[in-house]
Structure 1
Amino acid sequence: MEIDRIVGGRLEKARRRKGWHQRELGAAVGRSESWVSQVERGVAALDSVAMAERLARTVGLEVEFLLAFDVRYPADPKPTRPVRSSGPVAGSSVVAASDAEGYGAVLRRVFALGSLAGLTTAVTGLSPDAHAQISRAPDHGVDRASVDELRAIGAAYRRSYRSFPASSLVTVAHYQVQLVLSLRPKDQPAGVRESLLAHLAEMAALAGALLAVDLGDPELAEGYLDLGYQVAKETGSAETRALILAGRAFPVAFGGDAESALDYALAAVDAAGRGASARMRAWTSAVASEMYASTGDEHGFRASLEEARRVVSRPVDDERWGGIGAFDLSKADAYEGSDLVRLGRFAEALPALDGAIERLSPQMLRHRCSAHISRAEAYAGAGEVEAACADGHAALELAGRVQHLETVRRVTVLHRGLRSRGTAGIRALGEHLVDVRTVLGTARRMV
Structure 2
Amino acid sequence: MTEIDKIIGQRIEAGRRRKGLLQHELAARVGRSESWVGQVVRGVIPLDSLSMAERIASVLGMTADHILAFDVRYGTVPVVAQSLRSHTSSSPSPRALSPDTESSETVLRRTFTLGSLAGVTAAIAGLSPDARAKVSRPSGGNVDQATVAELRSIGASYRRSYKSFPASSLVPVAHDQLQLVISLRPKDQPVHLRNSLLAHMAEMAALAAVLLSLDLGDQEQADAYMDLGYQIAKEIGSPELAALILGGRAFRTSYGGDPEGGLDYALAAVDAAERGASERMQAWTNAVASEMYSSTGDEHGFRSSMEKARALLSGPMDDERWGGIAWFDLSKADAYEGSDLVRLGRHAEALPSLDRAIERLSPEMMRHRCTAYISRAEAHAGANNVEAACEDGHAALDLVAQVQHRETLRRVAELHRGLRTYKTAGTRSLGEHVIDTRTLLKTTGSAA
TM range (shorter): 0.7 to 0.9
Aligned to 1:263: 264
Structure with greater proportional helix content = 2
Deviation at 1:187, TM superposition (A): 2.0
Name segments (4+ residues, structure 1) moved above 4 Å: 2-6, 8-11, 50-53, 98-103, 109-117, 133-136
What stretches of structure 2 of length at least 5 have no aligned partner?
A: 15-34, 93-103, 111-138
Residue identity over aligned pairs, in percent, reads: 61
Aligned to 2:130: none
- Deviations along 1:297-339, one digit per CA (max 9) or x if unpaired, are 0000000010000001112111100000110001001000000
Aligned to 1:331: 332
CA contact 1:135–1:187 (8 Å) conserved in 2: no
User: TM-score normalised to the size of structure 1?
Assistant: 0.75
RMSD: 3.6
Change (3 A) 1:8 1:321: closer
Report matched runs for 1:266-277 at 5 Å.
266-277=267-278
SS in 2 for 1:216: coil
Aligned to 2:39: 54
Report matched runs for 1:4-83 at 5 Å.
4=4, 7=7, 54=39, 56-57=41-42
CA distance in 2, matches of 1:115, 1:444: 17
Aligned to 2:440: 439
CA contact 2:74–2:172 (8 Å) conserved in 1: no
In the alignment, is residue 142 of structure 1 matched against residue 143 of structure 2?
Answer: yes
Report matched runs for 1:380-391 at 5 Å.
380-391=381-392
Deviation at 1:217, TM superposition (A): 1.1
Aligned to 1:97: 55
SS in 2 for 1:262: helix
Change (3 A) 1:403 1:112: closer
CA distance in 1, matches of 2:405, 2:333: 20
Aligned to 1:77: none
Deviation at 1:5, TM superposition (A): 11
SS in 2 for 1:161: helix
Change (3 A) 1:116 1:435: closer
Deviation at 1:6, TM superposition (A): 8.9
CA distance in 2, matches of 1:207, 1:110: 19
Aligned to 1:318: 319
- State the number of aligned residues: 371
User: TM-score normalised to the size of structure 2?
Assistant: 0.75
2:314 is aligned with what amino acid? S
Aligned to 2:241: 240
- Greater C-alpha radius of gyration: 1
Aligned to 2:292: 291
Report matched runs for 1:106-117 at 5 Å.
110=68
Deviation at 1:122, TM superposition (A): 2.6
Deviation at 1:254, TM superposition (A): 1.0
In the alignment, is residue 122 of structure 1 matched against residue 96 of structure 2?
Answer: no
CA contact 1:242–1:269 (8 Å) conserved in 2: yes
CA distance in 1, matches of 2:9, 2:275: 54
CA distance in 2, matches of 1:346, 1:406: 20
Change (3 A) 1:173 1:254: same
In the alignment, is residue 132 of structure 1 matched against residue 133 of structure 2?
Answer: no
What stretches of structure 1 of length at least 5 have no aligned partner?
A: 15-49, 68-72, 74-94
Change (3 A) 1:381 1:122: same
Change (3 A) 1:116 1:9: closer
CA distance in 1, matches of 2:57, 2:43: 28
Change (3 A) 1:99 1:357: farther
Aligned to 1:196: 197
Aligned to 1:251: 252
CA distance in 1, matches of 2:249, 2:59: 28
CA distance in 1, matches of 2:10, 2:345: 55
CA distance in 2, matches of 1:201, 1:250: 18
SS in 1 for 2:276: coil
Deviates more, 1:122-131 or 1:317-326: 122-131
- Deviations along 1:36-82, one digit per CA (max 9) or x if unpaired, are xxxxxxxxxxxxxx9995263489xxx99xx9xxxxx9xxxxxxxxx
Deviation at 1:361, TM superposition (A): 1.2
Which structure has more relative contact order (CA 8 Å, sep 6+)? It is: 1
CA distance in 2, matches of 1:430, 1:111: 33
